[in-house]
Each structure stands twice: as C-alpha cells, then as structure tokens.
Structure 1
Amino acid sequence: METLKSKNVSIVLFELEMIPIERIIEGGEELFLKAGIKSVTMDDIAKHLGISKKTIYHFFKDKNDLVIALVKKKLKEDEDQMAGIISKSGNVIEEMINMMTCSEEIVSRINPIVIHDMQKYHPEAWKEFQHFKAEVLVHTMEELLTKGIKQGYIRPDIDVKVMSLMRVHQLELGFNPSVFPIAEFNTWDVQQQFQEHFNYGVCTLKGYKLLDQYKNNKQD
C-alpha cells in the first residue's frame, strides 16, 4: 500500500524527470519581472509552474540560490547577444544602432524593482552583475570606441576609458527609482535618451551623418 510519504516522493521524482532546471529558472524570472524579487516566494514559483516546492529545492537550496542562477544565465545570454551584434555589424555606427535595439529588448522586460531588490537583498547576485558591468560591458565599450576612432567615426580626442565607464554607469542610473521615479519616467525612454546623448556626443561629423542615416532608415 502506498503511503502519503511515498506518494509525495514519487511525485517529486516524476517532476524531476519532467521539469528541467531551466524551466524553474524561467518560472522565477517570469514572476520576478512582474512583482520584483522580494515579494515572490518559492511557494509562488512552485504554484506558477504547477510543481511541488520540493522539486525546486532539489535544484536550489533557497530563493537566493535561484536568483544567482538566474542572473548568471541572463548575463551570459546578454554577453552572447552583444558578441553576435559585433560580429555581424559592418562598422561601429551600425554596432551602436544594433546595440540600441538590443538594449530596448532587454530594458523593456526589466522591472526597476528587480534591480533594487537584487542590490538590497541578494548581494551575491548583485556582485555578479557588477562584475559583468566592470569586466564585460566596459571592455566591450572600450573596444567599440577604439575601433570607431580607427574607422574615423568616433572622435579621437575622447578618453576611451572615461567614456566607457560613464556609459556603463548610465545604464544603472537609468534604473534608479530615486532619480527617475517609475510613476513619472518610462525606463526605456530614459535609457534611450542616455544612449542617444552618448552616441552623438562621441561621434565625429562623419559618424554623426552615418548615425542619422541609419536612424532615418530604421524609422522608414
């Protein structure tokens, strides 16, 4: 005769075979993006996925562990996406335009509360984000600007390191609700203003004209 305990074990084992770890991470992401991280519980995620909470705990010891896994996954995806843009773009201005499109896709799905909650309640995940910002984003921006100077599209008089650091920190600033309250500002509009201000500010006249050309073609 099957006991309640053995039945529960059987359910968990079945779910472990049927539910990949990636789906649990995605389920957490779906809820975090809607309500922020702090207000979502492991019970909420289990209910959202229609599985036992024990199944989630088989892969993740707690919510913090899940958040760290999610952040690592998304940062790797973003890094791969940026690498793809760079490899397919013909020049730096095209890279800038394609990066804006990529940024729009990323920013449009991010709830600023998620950034706040991660910084305040999940320091390990926040550390991963800061490392990505310092090592990947700044390095990518430095390479882009240096290449643009050689191509004649970016002003040779700029300090590449300073401009790269400024641009990367602007991304984080745009998500700061104390500076740009959610009720008053659209997050993507803020990021777009930062991006355009930066792009036109670092371009030579040659780059400025090509940037306008790409923008007009995109609008058409």
Structure 2
Amino acid sequence: MVETKERIQARAMDLFMQYGIRSVSMDDIATQLGISKKTIYQYFADKNDLVMAVVDEDIKDLQDKCMDCGSSAVNAVDEIFLTMTMIQEFLRNMNPMVLYDLQKFHFEAYKKWVEHKNNFLLSSIDRNIRWGIEEGLYRPDLNITVLAKFRLESMLIPFNIEVYPPTKYNLVEVTLELLENFLFGLVTEKGYQLIVKYKQERPIHTKK
C-alpha cells in the first residue's frame, strides 16, 4: 500500500511540474498510472490533500539537498555553485505556473511552502553570507539581513510570467543568471577570482 501511495505522489509531482497544478486532474493522474481514480481516493481525500502531500515531500527533498550542498562545500562560493547545479536539475522541467497555481488554488499548501521559504531558505542564505564574510570571500561591509531578504524575494522573480513570459525566457537560465549576479555583488577580489575559477572548471548552463 505504501508503494502505491508513493507512486501516486511521484507521478502527481511529475505532472504538476510539467503542466502546472491546475491543468492536471485526478483523472489524468489515474490514467498515467493505469489505475482507477477510486484507488487514488483510497490514499488521498481530494486533490488538495494530494497537493499538500506532494509539497511536503518536495520541501523535504529540497531541504535535504540544500543541506548536502552546505556540508559538501569547501567555501561559501563553492556552496553557491553546488546550489546552482541543484537548482538547474530541480527546475529543468518545471512549469513556471506551478507557484501561481499553488497560491491561487491550494493556499494551505502554498502557506507551507512560504513557511519553508521564510524560515529554512532565509536561514540558509544568511548563513552563507556570514560564512563568506568570515572567509574573506564576501565584503565585510554587507548588510546581511537586508541582502538575505532581498535574495529570498528575488527567487520568485523568474516565476513572474508577466516579467519573464515562458515563451521568451527559460526559467532555469533566468534563475541562475539572477543568482550568479547576486553572488558577484557580494564578493571581494578574492571571491571574484574564485567565481572565475569555478565558472571555467564547471560551467553551470549554456545559453539557448
């Protein structure tokens, strides 16, 4: 039974990421899995319940990966580059409408995601900036609180389809471009040289 529930969640996650949440029905998920819709309702009360389960699992996975980036990194700039690789993989097939659909049609799940953003992600950004300053890779005069919150909110900009319509812009490229330039704004000369080194050794993405 656990395996069936996990299969439903995993397939729902794939479909939501690819097409957005609103456009994927419970019938779609059942058809994709080759099971009846009744079977899905044995595990999830309704679509809201399924979306909440998917968001919970997604948040757990993202937090685990972020912590892996932090523990594997040899310095603060390295952590950002590891994070960029992780973001590239995560957003590769993500429909920009996912966050909009979550906020508009599944607000309880959206609140759970916002809580994750405002607590875990903010703390992670704050920690990275402090680490970089201690290492002499980031400028010592940075206002950590202001910049951490700025970075946190700027994460949402690539998902604004009015600013970056999906027909003209690639979600991954916009996200990584903003993060990379944020990083350039933090660093000292020592940190800048490290960015140049990492960009040569492990390019993150290519332009269209």
TM exceeding 0.5: yes
> Which residue of the other structure, out of 34, 41, 44, is the alignment partner of 1:60?
44
Counterpart CA distance in 2 for 1:93 and 1:35 is 34
Shift of 1:72: 0.8
TM-score (norm 2): 0.94
- Deviation of 1:71 (Å): 0.7
Alignment of 1:74 with 2:58, yes or no, is yes
Correspondence for 2:130 among 112, 136, 146: 146
TM-score (structure 1 length as normaliser): 0.89
Code of the aligned partner of 2:106? H
Give, as a single letter, the amino acid of the residue that structure 1 aligns with 2:193.
K
Look up the match of 1:6.
none
Give the match for residue 84 of structure 1.
Answer: 68
Aligned to 1:60, what secondary structure does the other structure show?
A: coil
Cα separation, 2, equivalents of 1:190 and 1:205: 25
Quote the residue 2:84 is aligned against: 100
Q: Does 1:36 align with 2:20?
A: yes
1:64-213 equivalence runs, <5 A: 64-213=48-197
Q: Which residue of 2 aligns with 1:216?
A: 200
Distance across 1 between alignment mates of 2:135 and 2:92: 32
Distance in 1 between residues matched to 2:169 and 2:11, nearest whole Å: 28
CA shift digits 1:16-37 (9 cap, x unpaired): 47x4211100111122122211
Computing the radius of gyration from Cα coordinates, the structure with the larger value is: 1
Output the CA distance in 1 between the equivalents of 2:167 and 2:134: 43
Q: Deviations over 1:22-67 (max 9, x none)?
A: 1100111122122211121111111111112111111111001101
1:172 to partner: Cα distance: 0.9
CA distance in structure 1 between the partners assigned to 2:19 and 2:94 by the alignment: 11
User: Structure 1: which 5+ runs fail to align?
Assistant: 1-15
| Residue 213 of structure 1, CA deviation | 0.7
Q: Which runs of at least 4 in structure 1 moved beyond 4 Å after TM superposition?
A: none
* 1:78-133 Cα distance to aligned partner (Å, 9 max, x none): 10001011111111111111111111111212111111111110101110110111
- Taking the aligned partners of 2:190 and 2:104, their CA distance within structure 1 comes to 44
Structure having greater relative contact order (Cα 8 Å, sep ≥ 6) = 2
Percent sequence identity over aligned pairs: 37
Counterpart CA distance in 1 for 2:82 and 2:14 is 26
Structure with the largest fraction of helix: 1
CA distance in 2, matches of 1:37, 1:79: 22
**CA–CA distance in structure 2, aligned partners of residues 135 and 215 of structure 1:** 30
Structure 2 residue matching 1:141: 3-state secondary structure: helix
Tell me how far apart the structure 2 counterparts of residues 163 and 110 of structure 1 sit (CA, whole Å). Answer: 26
